[in-house]
Structure 1
């Protein structure tokens, strides 16, 4: 079984090889050309460059041909293909994957719009990889991913309003005032899109807001909690350690967030993702 995802999952080239999956790369372009985002070092350099540039980089989805090349490879081996893409609310990547399936005229391709990105997209891909290793069939894996994508949630705290301003999401004057007052926006990936949950004063206030959000759900403790960060691993580790201690977590992981979503949120962000219980579970 070939498992394919895209680079909005922030799974690096090396990790993809270790997981035995294939990555289709979204492209990120600054004023002076394309910027690779295939390693953790690339992620670090990306945020350095993002801070220097006046304009945000442009992100473009993969072409159908990039998916088609992988489909043809699988078709030659009569291998089943599972594709888990970035949320359709953030990119047309899933459309490219579906168009490539039509072009391939190969039936053994299952395409899932993850409705997620960054660490939650990564979580779904990792779940598929684990289930493949357990010998689960395609129908079982697809059913599990379709269930989990509706229950997994990611919330994050931005360090600055600057990148929301650059992206045209808030007025410049509001960004300046907010930065002076140390306003930290708190966002959530909901209904396929990044939405504003609220705002807090200072990083401590932002962390408390994320904890409050975490506490508002019944958590499925069978699944791991994923933490994410942009640019500054120490900030990510501190947030993770405080959260682990507060809630007694035993199953958790920390991952960097790259430039596909990082473009819009900027450096020094932290995020937490978790899986909510099924509605019929107590």
Structure 2
């Protein structure tokens, strides 16, 4: 097509995947013990090393993509006569959507004959990636940029996102769980189960005791909310931070229950932008399902 489909590195897709699907990516940056790295598919710093250093006590900090970075990135396409549809990490998690919109306003004055759409994914990690996957499919089927922009706006809330963590250390360190609650949670083997709501915010939903039970509960939620329920035909992505065995266990359960899925479950590592906050121990499930709304999810 004659336009660029683009996202941020917070979509937690692999370099091989985005190259194969012709999706442009601009990178977040993060700091590990005051040293800055680019969130570049783990090339600057492998994800395993990031998480191992976090376990050892290293501090992390992320920064949103700046207006200046967006202007330089978008202008690389617009100056060549290409239109751009860019999908951002959820505004409920990061301020990067606002930065992209400010860059858009400035660039549209300079390139009035070009189109630059900005869409808030209202998602994160490979759920944001699952939306990008569907948009790439529609683009490849011949959908033009205007129609694809509207499709993204109409369907972004149909991506269901469920996360659990079997290690509360980084929830405590980040202030999302108090030290007292975290101590007793660890003692009782409590795994918080969260999802992303209709505003794109990460919301605690349940406290599940034990790793086996939280995996089962996450699977049950897909059975409850998946599009067409047991006849689900869409794709399913799972991302994780140093929990490949648990992610594979969940994927096996899903593949056995949903035989009509278009392809096997795809597993991805949680990248540095999201993982700097969740730390190791997180598994996240993403699928197409019931639309998120205020009283629901």
Give the TM-score normalised by the residue count of structure 1: 0.91
Q: How does 1:161-176 map to 2 (within 5 A)?
A: 161-176=168-183
**Unpaired stretches in structure 2, ≥5 consecutive residues:** 293-297
Q: How does 1:18-57 map to 2 (within 5 A)?
A: 18-40=20-42, 42-53=46-57, 55=59, 57=60
Kindly indicate whether residue 243 of structure 2 is the aligned counterpart of residue 235 of structure 1: no
Q: Given the alignment, which residue of 201, 206, 221 partners 1:213?
A: 221
| Distance change in 2, residues 1:268/1:161 (3 Å) | closer
Inter-partner Cα distance in structure 2 for 1:75 and 1:268: 41
Which has the larger displacement, 195-204 or 229-238?
229-238
Which has the larger displacement, 186-195 or 41-50?
41-50
Kindly indicate whether residue 186 of structure 2 is the aligned counterpart of residue 185 of structure 1: no
Report what 1:262 is aligned to: 275
Provide the aligned C-alpha RMSD in A: 2.0
Q: Is the 8 A contact 1:13 1:23 kept in 2?
A: no
| Distance change in 2, residues 1:214/1:13 (3 Å) | closer
Deviation at 1:91, TM superposition (A): 0.7
Q: How does 1:74-89 map to 2 (within 5 A)?
A: 74-89=77-92
Kindly indicate whether residue 18 of structure 2 is the aligned counterpart of residue 11 of structure 1: no
Which has the larger displacement, 228-237 or 194-203?
228-237
Could you give the per-residue CA deviations for residues 27-81 of structure 1, whole angstroms, max 9, x where no partner exists? 11122311343235622221111111254x1110111122212322222222110
Q: Is the 8 A contact 1:148 1:275 kept in 2?
A: no
Could you give the per-residue CA deviations for residues 210-232 of structure 1, whole angstroms, max 9, x where no partner exists? 12322332524242122221123
Report what 1:123 is aligned to: 130
Inter-partner Cα distance in structure 1 for 2:62 and 2:57: 15
Which has the larger displacement, 196-205 or 22-31?
22-31
Inter-partner Cα distance in structure 2 for 1:239 and 1:88: 28
Could you give the per-residue CA deviations for residues 61-106 of structure 1, whole angstroms, max 9, x where no partner exists? 1111222123222222221100000000111111111111122123
Inter-partner Cα distance in structure 2 for 1:189 and 1:238: 22
Inter-partner Cα distance in structure 1 for 2:286 and 2:122: 14
Inter-partner Cα distance in structure 2 for 1:54 and 1:119: 25
Give the TM-score normalised by the residue count of structure 2: 0.87
Inter-partner Cα distance in structure 1 for 2:184 and 2:161: 27
Inter-partner Cα distance in structure 1 for 2:224 and 2:255: 17
Inter-partner Cα distance in structure 2 for 1:87 and 1:167: 19
Inter-partner Cα distance in structure 2 for 1:92 and 1:133: 30
